[in-house]
Amino acid sequence: MTHRKKLIAGNWKMNKTSADAAALVRELTAAAGQRTDVEVVVCPPFTAMEGVSRLLDGSNVRLGAQNLHPEKNGAFTGEISADMLRALFVSHVILGHSERRTLFGEQDAFINQKVLAALKNQLRPIFCVGETLVERESGATLTVVQTQLEAGLAGVSREQAADVIVAYEPVWAIGTGKVATTEQAQEVHAFIRTLLTKLFSEPVAQKIRILYGGSMKPANAPELLAQPDIDGGLIGGASLEARSFLELVTAAAVK
Ligand code: PEP
């Protein structure tokens, strides 16, 4: 079986000034900056990215963005391009987050353009999929996840696919304190891996990390991370404090 290094990514969302971000990242790098057993990624807001990038120099913690625009440059007020992210040594980018989908109206086709732009520019997409509570309760979870996954990854080549990271984030579990049971999460993760096998190939699907996201905390992480198809976590609330985030990194390191 392929060994997939676990990945813990912190999505700071619209939190932390540059100074707050610097303080947090100093704590993280002091404690986990030289770890090689877990991949750690932090995704600060754009305003804090340059300072965080400087502080991450020489550490193994990677820098992620929370979004990008698929065009190279131009008249797109308020947007940020892949080139701009690359210039700050960004390596990962969260795409298709449910907050972007629901609050900012992002549709599958636009998210797909972003995924393709990220891959073309050597940025690893952390590509999010997940169902709402209504969809889960109506039995549509797997159909919704399949539609989002196939649409979001359309046109991704087999060679590019190994750089994709998928995050399964049930929308009803994000920021709510409600976590999916390990069985619910593992079922969808295994389903996603089967879809990835069909889309790309078995060896490629075995390489792709599938993160769980939705109220992951130190208390529930060990059980989730022990599931065969859960390869890490995309963390919102618990990534805003060094202590809880570092506990999640430690939980991911346990074999
Ligand atoms: C997220 O927004 O990606 C997320 C998982 O948030 P939280 O951990 O706060 O539920």
Per-residue pLDDT tens digits for 227-253: 999 999 999 999 999 999 999 999 999
Helices 46-56/18-32 angle, 10° precision = 30
Q: Which two tokens stand for residue 137?
A: 């309760």
Spacing, Cα 14 to ligand 1 middle (Å): 12
Protein residue with least CA distance to atom 3, ligand 1: 236
* Structural domains in the chain (count): 1
Q: Which positions ≥6 away from 104 have C-beta within 8 Å?
A: none
Q: Which positions ≥6 away from 89 have C-beta within 8 Å?
A: 53, 56, 57, 63
Spacing, Cα 75 to ligand 1 middle (Å): 31
| Contact indicator for 224, 189 with CB cutoff of 8 Å | no
Q: Which atom of ligand 1 is nearest to the CA of 169?
A: 5
**What's the CA gap between 204 and 198, in Å, rounded?**
10
**What's the CA gap between 100 and 107, in Å, rounded?**
9
**What's the CA gap between 218 and 238, in Å, rounded?**
8
Q: Is residue 182 part of a domain?
A: yes
Protein residue with least CA distance to atom 8, ligand 1: 236
Q: Is residue 2 part of a domain?
A: no
CATH number at residue 193: 3.20.20.70
Q: Is residue 214 part of a domain?
A: yes
Residue from 234, 241, 244 to probe ligand 1 pocket by mutation (most atoms less than 8 Å from CB): 234
Q: Which of the residues are catalytic?
A: 97, 169
| Contact indicator for 127, 152 with CB cutoff of 8 Å | yes
Q: Which two tokens stand for residue 28?
A: 């993280």
| Contact indicator for 154, 112 with CB cutoff of 8 Å | yes
Spacing, Cα 51 to ligand 1 middle (Å): 24
Protein residue with least CA distance to atom 2, ligand 1: 236
Q: Which atom of ligand 1 is nearest to the CA of 13?
A: 2
Domain around 192: 7-253
Which residues does a 6 A CB cutoff place in the pocket of ligand 1? 11, 169, 174-175, 213-216, 234-238
Q: Is residue 1 part of a domain?
A: no
Q: Is residue 160 part of a domain?
A: yes
Q: Spell out the per-residue pLDDT of the chain, length 255, in tens.
A: 568 999 999 999 999 999 999 999 999 999 999 999 999 999 999 999 999 999 999 999 999 999 999 999 999 999 999 999 999 999 999 999 999 999 999 999 999 999 999 999 999 999 999 999 999 999 999 999 999 999 999 999 999 999 999 999 999 999 888 888 999 999 999 999 999 999 999 999 999 999 999 999 999 999 999 999 999 999 999 999 999 999 999 999 976
Spacing, Cα 188 to ligand 1 middle (Å): 17
